[in-house]
Amino acid sequence: MQVGLLGAGGLLGSEIARQARARGIKLSATRSAEVDARDERAVMAWLDKTNPDVLIICAARNAGVHVNIASPADMLEDNARIAIASIGAARRARVPRLLYCCSGAIYPTTAQVPCRESDAGTGRPEPSHAGYSAAKELGLRFCRAVRAQDGLDYTAILLTNIFGPGQNYDPSRSNVVASLIARIHAAKAAGDSEVVVWGTGDATRDLIFVEDAASAMLGLAQVAGPVDSTINLATGREISIKEIAATIATVVGYTGRLVFDGSKPEGARRRVLDASRLAALGLAPASSFSDSLQRTYADYIGSLALI
């Protein structure tokens, strides 16, 4: 089996590439600087050279809630272009199986929690990431349309919040875990008595360690026979922002106060995904949240040494 990977430079893509090579899987991986996933001709040329049996599309423009609120048009445009160009190129090349990295952010605010795949794309998502969600939903609908029209095994993978070594720790652009690690570490280093966290802290998330996410993606690539058109890639465990922040403070060794500012946006009030389809395939995540945070914090400290 030959696996193709678009977006090998990002958090998930780089870990998929690392694990694939460690397992001896035949892999053709490319970064955005080498093949622009928004350019169908470029993707087609790359597919002609690599001829994968499975294509994994990790290419995306990702950011935290700050950027999603400030730049919805940019988030929509880039991610929609990636979906149309990359899935379209794979379809024209008749790649038999495709795994498109979609997002749990597309679930409507009215969806039952934990969110089940059947509810994906059935209503309006959380407004704070409307542009990003619209583009990702387009990719999901394209995969479903290709399955219906062409009979190809194309699947939208609804990713929950991924964290781990190698992520972007810039608080203005990163996800909740990376942002809190950077800000709480900075407060400890400066001797600050408190850290202000956006939102009430009562909002919940489903967090998956990048190694677990990459392992599951490769497992899905190797499943014998067709898989479902939509699969949640998540732990199915719900954790509040307050608990996330408190656990990070413990890992960092910060003893000051965590102050929650309810006047600031915090995204969806509850987000946890039903992981039963993944578990049924024997691909359930196994890492401990606390241990994963320890490793992520060690990576952050290492990144500071490089500055």
- CA-based angle 80:134:200, to the nearest 5? 130
Please indicate whether residue 132 is annotated as part of the active site.
yes
228-242 pLDDT, tens digit each = 999 999 999 999 999
pLDDT value at position 265? 80
Q: DSSP letter for 52, please.
A: -
Where residue 172 falls among pLDDT bands split at 50, 70, 90?
low
pLDDT value at position 306? 64
DSSP characters over 162-218: EE-TT----TTTS-HHHHHHHHHHHHHHHT-SEEEEES-S--EE-EEEHHHHHHHHH
pTM: 0.93
Does 174 have pLDDT greater than 80? Answer: no
Question: Residue 175 corresponds to which amino acid?
Answer: N
Minimum mean pLDDT range among 11-15, 88-92, 124-128, 165-169: 124-128
Domain-wise residue ranges, the chain: 2-165+207-235+269-287
281-305 pLDDT, tens digit each = 999 999 999 999 999 999 999 998 7
Where residue 264 falls among pLDDT bands split at 50, 70, 90?
confident
> Which of 100, 107, 132, 254 is labelled catalytic?
132
Residue 166: phi and psi, rounded to 5, are 100, 0
297, two tokens:
């914090």
In this prediction, what percent of the chain has a pLDDT beyond 90?
84
Q: Which CATH superfamily is domain 2-165+207-235+269-287 in?
A: NAD(P)-binding Rossmann-like Domain (3.40.50.720)
Contacts by 19-26 with C-beta closer than 8 Å and gap 24+? 19/211, 19/214, 19/215, 19/218, 20/218, 23/218, 25/1, 25/218, 25/222, 26/1, 26/2
Neighbours of 31 (CB within 10 A): 17
Does 224 have pLDDT greater than 90? Answer: no
67-124 pLDDT, tens digit each = 778 889 999 999 999 999 999 999 999 999 999 999 999 999 999 999 999 999 999 9
